[in-house]
């Protein structure tokens, strides 16, 4: 095949009806183009979001000139390819309409040879306002559909929720952590492809049966010919090659070729083995023409295991026959303006997840089907992906036009993503089954009460059409063998009241939000533990230097207009303050409050993660909400919009260690327990040391023993009566330290307190930082005279420390290293940190015990 692919660039844009055309960046969107041309102010700064809601009420058009060379025009086929148009778009080639697009998530290929000429050709795209487009649909339906997070009031629409009508990223309409920017534009590349003979459009390596001895695969090669074709199909990888003869007429075809690989190198998730990737190259070769294409994938068996047991029904991913405890977080889009996300930003996120000992990210259903770079990085880092379809927290229409659009969207994206070994589960939607709770009159979020019995039945029928028919059919047809879960959370697809999830179900997955939304105490994380915890979370603010990217000094107070504008959960600031009053001392000023909000968040998530891991194998997954942010904001993220790790991210790194100690003592109970939790496939022999100290580091009690941590288990290594351990010591003046060692290697260390932070009798602690060299790399040794809680290191350079937000014990120096953030293939490079600043919790509170 002669293939000449030309990326179409040099675009201009304007508001429809205006005279002036301005330069546009494609891929991009109207908002970013207006910003780059100085037409609007920074959307993320201050309260600017509210001033930019006019943009989505207008129609916008983009145009460019395609220069078709004689060489290109000589080919038999000329295809115009749109990888993503956002959202309602009329496309004109030389003023002839060739496409009316209506789905942001679809790609479009149009044959245009008859409309093109050699030389200059005009391409123009008119984007119709998604607001004006969908208002008539709401009128026609006759009643509104629930869309809890659609911030229609911010957009000047009152209660008119329109997000459910557009096949467009739901978070564009606002969420409880994100702004409302309803974008339009060319959000993925546009190209012109000129070809003759035969063109391979897709290579799918179907994994029929994969095990350590043998991988039975089928290569499905989809191709198009402009005439009859007779030749050889060949597929090869590394040291193997397979072939078959083909003879087909003109048109589109799919050929299958069985591939067997003995002793395959398997793809493993992080922590269990190497995420090996194979490159398969497919070639069609005839007498006069040929074509080739390649795909990279990993060979693995991935299954969702739901088996009945004594306590309910299991819910976990089995990878290559090995049950995997999923550790990670929920991923949202990295930016409100998706085209601003670079490959480096994706690499930083996925590398941060791996560095934090995670093995799974859930691509949440209110964002986008992510860019190829995201999944390729997950493949490379061994990061499993739970992939939602893009539906969240809303009920959707079920008219034939909408259902057909959803069908084509699902097929497009399943085909695009099905070769990625990282994707281990497809899920229909986020929280809709539980929100509506059709079979439970008093369950759900109260949506049903607003509708008549007939309306309820119609709305539920439309729901079932999408999530129980269209989407699972797309998965089974185009990614056979891949598991599909209709909604998260859900118990099971039963068609009765037992289908819907709640906080104490013993089957399916759970989103537990009693802590935070219901103001329940942190200790309830110990109570509500399900088979797979796919959502839970607690908010904090970004660090002060991130806050200052959107706020002035005069805005630095909790109830300022700017702070409220950058807090999308209505009660969020009040909840942070309320929980801080419950668990911590009063911060001395607003900057201290920002720091302490992160300490509070870290403590909440430590409680939750450890509760989940202790219950292994009953519980087999813990994915907190959320990994990242789409703008600078107070949110549940562990990493802020600028990629800066919060205290939570460092806490997750410690709590997610493949081999971990957990010290557990339930308030009101006598027994204190030390657990050993292992995700490793082999048992670990080690030495457990326990030490009770006062806050000046004086040893009050010590015990030690040799232990064996079982493979892929959680087990109690040590038990003691808490009162006996304290032996009359004041609970607020002691700390228990547990260390797991193997010879001279420290495998894990945890500090444990018998009281909440507000009752700790902390004293001012001077922390010294000394620059040293360790293993040939720059490092820093920290020491203190009295216990320092929540020690936090900062430097003006962008990067991460090997540990942060840790407790520093007197007499026990701690060595940390710094890695600067890099734009290269190695995202974290060892470096010297300039001007390290250090503070601890005691530096943030108003009242401190005097040093004795």
Of 3.40.50.300, 3.40.50.620, 2.60.40.10, 3.40.50.970, the CATH number of 762-852 is: 2.60.40.10
Strand order in the sheet with 240-248: 240-248, 229-237, 278-286, 290-297
> What class does CATH assign to 2-191?
mainly beta
Q: What is the predicted pLDDT for the residue at 406?
A: 98
User: How confident is the model at residue 353, as a pLDDT?
Assistant: 98
Residue 849 is predicted with a pLDDT of: 56
DSSP track, 66-89: EEE-HHHHTSSEEEEEES-EESSE
Distance from C-alpha of 75 to C-alpha of 410, rounded to nearest angstrom: 32
What is the C-alpha to C-alpha distance for residues 170 and 568, in angstroms, rounded to an integer? Answer: 15
Q: Which residues contact 739 (CB under 8 A, 6 or more apart)?
A: 661, 688, 689, 690, 691, 746, 748, 749
Q: What's the full length of the chain, in residues?
A: 852
Distance CA 259, CA 249 (A): 25
Residue 7, H or E segment: strand 2-7
**718 φ, ψ (degrees, to nearest 5):** -155, 140
Domains of the chain, residue spans: 2-191, 197-297, 325-331+359-367+503-643+650-656, 660-759, 762-852
Specify the pLDDT at position 502: 84
Q: Are 251 and 222 in contact (CB under 8 A)?
A: no
pLDDT at 851: 46
Q: Phi, psi (5° rounding) for residue 836?
A: -70, 125
Residue that is written with structure tokens 């010590």 in the block: 702
User: What backbone phi and psi angles, to 5 degrees, belong to 805?
Assistant: 50, 45
Chain mean position to CA 357: 15
Give the DSSP per-residue string, 764-810.
---EEEEEEEETTEEEEEEEESS-EEEEEEE-SSSEEESS-SEEE-T
531-542 residue pLDDT tens: 999 999 999 999
Q: What is the dihedral of CA 427, 431, 434, 438, to 10 degrees?
A: -80
- Do the beta carbons of residue 616 and residue 321 sit within 8 Å? no
- Report d(CA 503, CA 591) in Å as an integer: 35
**Rounded to the nearest 10 degrees, how much is the dihedral formed by the CA atoms of 547, 548, 549, 551?**
90
Domains 197-297 and 660-759 belong to one CATH topology: yes
C-alpha span between 550 and 555 (Å, rounded): 9
| Both structure tokens of 318 | 């089995």
pLDDT (tens digit per residue) in 329-373: 999 999 999 999 999 999 999 999 999 999 999 999 999 999 999
| CATH homologous superfamily for the domain 660-759 | Immunoglobulins (2.60.40.10)
* CB contact set of 668 (below 8 Å; sequence gap of 6+): none
Rounded distance between C-alpha atoms, residue 698 and residue 717, angstroms:
25
For the four alpha carbons of 333, 338, 341 and 347, in that order, the dihedral sign comes to positive
Check whether domain 325-331+359-367+503-643+650-656 has CATH 3.20.20.80, yes or no: yes
Q: At what angle do helices 372-381 and 343-355 cross, to 10 degrees?
A: 30
Measured CA to CA in angstroms, residue 819 lies from 334, 789, 793, 795 at distances of 22, 23, 13, 11
Among 185, 183, 181, which Cα is nearest to 154's? 181
The pLDDT assigned to 833 comes to 83
Q: What is the H or E stretch that residue 654 is in?
A: helix 647-655
pTM for the model stands at 0.96
Contact in structure between 316 and 532 (CB atoms under 8 Å): yes
Please identify which residue in the block is written with the tokens 């675009």: 11
* pLDDT score, position 848: 57
pLDDT at 809: 95
Which residues partner with 290 through β-bridges?
285
Q: How would you classify the pairing of strands 767-774 and 316-319?
A: unpaired
pLDDT of residue 850: 52
Q: Determine the Cα angle at 572 with ends 566 and 578, to 5°.
A: 135
Q: Which of 265, 337, 246 is nearest to 49 (CA)?
A: 337
**Residues 463 and 522: beta-carbon distance below 8 Å:** no
Which of 445, 485, 465, 469 lies closest to 396 in space, CA to CA? 465
What is the predicted pLDDT for the residue at 852?
Answer: 45
Q: Are 255 and 164 in contact (CB under 8 A)?
A: no
Q: Torsion angle, CA of 79/85/88/91, rounded to 10 degrees?
A: -30
List, for the chain, all residue ranges whose pLDDT scores fall below the cut of 50.
1, 851-852
Instruction: Quote the CA–CA distance of 654 and 462 in Å, as a whole number.
Output: 44
- Domain 197-297 is in which class? mainly beta
Give CA–CA dist 229/76, Å, rounded. Answer: 15
Tokens 């859930």 sit at which residue?
Answer: 362
Q: How far apart are CA 748 and CA 656, in angstroms?
A: 11
């Amino acid at each position: 095949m002669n293939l000449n692919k030309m990326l179409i660039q040099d675009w201009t844009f304007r508001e429809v009806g205006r005279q002036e055309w301005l330069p546009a960046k494609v891929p991009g969107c109207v908002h970013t183009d207006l910003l780059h041309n100085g037409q609007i102010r920074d959307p993320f700064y201050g309260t600017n979001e509210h001033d930019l809601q006019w943009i989505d009420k207008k129609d916008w058009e983009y145009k460019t000139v395609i220069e078709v060379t004689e060489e290109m025009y000589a080919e038999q086929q000329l295809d115009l390819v749109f990888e993503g148009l956002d959202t309602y778009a009329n496309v004109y080639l030389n003023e002839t309409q060739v496409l009316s697009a209506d789905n942001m998530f679809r790609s479009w290929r149009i044959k245009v040879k008859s409309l093109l000429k050699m030389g200059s050709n005009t391409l123009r795209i008119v984007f119709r306002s998604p607001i004006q487009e969908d208002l008539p649909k709401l009128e026609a339906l006759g009643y509104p559909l629930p869309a809890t997070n659609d911030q229609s009031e911010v957009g000047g629409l009152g209660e008119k929720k329109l997000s459910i009508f557009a096949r467009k990223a739901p978070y564009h309409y606002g969420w409880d952590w994100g702004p409302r920017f309803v974008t339009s534009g060319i959000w993925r590349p546009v190209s012109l492809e000129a070809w003759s003979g035969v063109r391979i459009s897709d290579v799918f390596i179907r994994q029929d049966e994969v095990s350590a001895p043998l991988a039975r695969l089928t290569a499905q090669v989809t191709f198009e010919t402009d005439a009859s074709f007779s030749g050889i199909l060949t597929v090869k990888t590394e040291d193997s090659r397979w072939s078959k003869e083909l003879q087909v007429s003109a048109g589109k075809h799919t050929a299958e070729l069985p591939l067997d690989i003995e002793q395959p190198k398997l793809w493993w998730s992080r922590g269990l083995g190497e995420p090996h990737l194979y490159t398969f190259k497919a070639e069609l070769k005839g007498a006069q023409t040929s074509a080739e294409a390649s795909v990279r994938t990993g060979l693995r068996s991935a299954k969702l295991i739901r088996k009945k047991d004594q306590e309910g029904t299991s819910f976990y991913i089995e990878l290559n026959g090995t049950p995997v405890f999923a550790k990670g977080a929920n991923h949202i889009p990295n930016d409100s303006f998706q085209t601003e996300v670079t490959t480096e930003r994706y690499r930083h996120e996925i590398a941060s997840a791996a560095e934090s000992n995670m093995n799974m990210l859930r691509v949440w259903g209110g964002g986008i089907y992510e860019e190829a770079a995201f999944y390729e990085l997950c493949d490379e880092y061994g990061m499993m992906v739970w992939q939602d379809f893009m539906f969240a927290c809303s009920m959707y229409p079920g008219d034939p036009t909408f259902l057909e659009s959803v069908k084509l969207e699902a097929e497009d994206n399943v085909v695009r993503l099905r070769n990625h070994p990282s994707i281990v589960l497809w899920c229909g939607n986020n929280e809709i089954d539980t929100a509506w709770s059709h079979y439970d009159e008093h369950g759900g979020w109260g949506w049903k009460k607003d509708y008549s019995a007939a309306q309820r039945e119609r709305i539920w029928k439309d729901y079932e059409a999408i999530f129980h028919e269209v989407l699972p059919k797309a998965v089974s047809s185009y990614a056979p063998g891949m598991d599909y879960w209709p909604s998260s959370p859900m118990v099971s697809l039963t068609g009765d009241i037992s289908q819907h999830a709640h906080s104490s179900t013993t089957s399916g997955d759970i989103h537990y939000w009693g802590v935070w939304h219901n103001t329940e105490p942190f200790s309830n994380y110990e109570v509500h533990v399900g088979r797979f915890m796919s959502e839970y979370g607690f908010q904090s603010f970004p660090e002060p230097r991130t806050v200052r990217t959107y706020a002035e000094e005069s805005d630095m107070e909790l109830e300022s207009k700017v702070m409220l504008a950058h807090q999308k959960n209505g009660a969020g600031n009040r909840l942070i303050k309320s929980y801080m009053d419950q668990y911590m001392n009063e911060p001395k000023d607003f900057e201290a409050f920002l720091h302490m909000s992160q300490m509070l968040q870290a403590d909440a998530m430590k409680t939750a993660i450890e509760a989940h891991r202790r219950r292994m194998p009953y519980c087999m997954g813990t994915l907190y909400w959320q990994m990242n942010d789409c703008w600078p904001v107070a949110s549940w993220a562990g990493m802020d919009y600028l990629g800066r790790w919060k205290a939570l991210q460092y806490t997750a790194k410690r709590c997610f260690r493949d081999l971990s100690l957990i010290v557990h003592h339930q308030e009101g109970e006598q027994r204190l327990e030390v657990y050993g939790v292992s995700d490793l496939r082999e048992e670990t022999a080690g030495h457990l040391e326990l030490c009770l100290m006062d806050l000046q580091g004086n040893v009050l009690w010590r015990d030690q023993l040799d232990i064996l941590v079982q493979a892929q288990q959680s087990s109690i290594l040590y038990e003691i009566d808490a009162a006996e351990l304290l032996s009359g010591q004041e609970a607020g003046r002691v700390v228990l330290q547990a260390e797991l060692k193997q010879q001279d290697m420290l495998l894990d260390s945890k500090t444990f307190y018998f009281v909440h932070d507000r009752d700790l009798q902390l004293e001012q602690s001077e922390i010294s930082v000394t620059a040293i060299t360790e293993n040939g790399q720059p490092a820093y040794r920290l020491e203190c005279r009295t216990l320092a809680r929540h020690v936090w290191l900062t430097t003006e350079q962008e990067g991460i420390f090997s540990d942060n937000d840790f407790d520093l014990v007197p007499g026990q120096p701690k060595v940390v290293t710094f890695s600067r953030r890099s734009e290269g293939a190695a995202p974290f490079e060892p470096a010297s940190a300039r001007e390290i600043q250090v503070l601890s919790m005691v530096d943030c509170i108003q009242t401190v015990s005097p040093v004795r």
